[in-house]
Amino acid sequence: MVVMITGTSRGIGFETARYFAGMSNFEIFALSRNKVGLDRLADECSAPGHSSHLHPLVFDLDSFLDKPGSLLEMLSGKIDHIDILINNAGMLINKPFQEVNRVEAEKLFRVNFFAPVMLIRELLPLMKGPDTTHIVNISSMGGYQGSTKFPGLAYYSASKAALACITECLSEEFKNIGIVLNCLALGSVQTEMLEEAFPGYRAQLHPKEMAEFIGHFALTAHRHMRGKIIPVSLSNP
């Protein structure tokens, strides 16, 4: 089974790649712009006796938007289909609305919304096979309708809400070509990105715990649901 995951150099993406690498007969394509983190991931997933293989790909999703076709070129000869795509990569800026400049606002939407959407579009030729492809978009409780909103996260939350909405839209468009989309709106997880945005805050969940949930969801949920936005949080909205 072929799995592609973005944002794998640290945090949830790192642990999700490790989750699949610990299973049998998986080919995991791990994308990140951070080569140091990818090298560490590759080292941790290279245990003798594993039947799964991790393929680290240094790939900047922000730059990718200006280079259509670049990912398919990298994948040429390495892959002919994708069973699971997990759009995990994300960016978070914690700033009051009036202090976020246009460049920062645009980058948040480029990384959190446009990049995963264009990634889906570029990889469509690898998804229209006889077997179902499950696309799991990783959103946030900040972008979940009716949830508690926090000052400083307006653009971040809006970009994640857009990703959740397009999950519903594309699910309808792709329902007859063997592609299932679902979206997980995650609550706080103790990642480096969270620590950078909220120094000193302590979340109840750690990346490995969330990664196990995401991995199991990616493997099984397409048989039971499509186009759903699922809140995954220990706190009330």
Tens-place pLDDT, residues 139-156: 999 999 989 888 999 999
User: What b/e string do you get for 150-160 counting C-beta neighbours within 10 Å, with b at 16 or more?
Assistant: eebbbbbbbbb
Helix axes 11-21 and 35-44, enclosed angle (nearest 10): 30
Query: In one letter, which amino acid is 45?
Result: C
By C-alpha distance, which of 78, 176, 175 is closest to 126?
78
In the chain, where are the structural domains located?
A: 2-232
* pLDDT tens, position by position, 62-96: 999 998 889 999 998 899 999 999 999 999 999 99
- CATH (residue range 2-232): 3.40.50.720
Q: Is the pLDDT of residue 197 over 90?
A: no
**pTM of the predicted model, to two decimals?**
0.94
pLDDT of residue 148: 86
The gap from C-alpha 176 to its chain's centroid, in whole angstroms, comes to 24
DSSP tag of 113:
I
Name, of 38-47, 61-70, 111-120, 227-236, the range with top average pLDDT.
111-120
- Digit-coded pLDDT (tens) for 99-137: 999 999 999 999 999 999 999 999 999 997 778 999 999
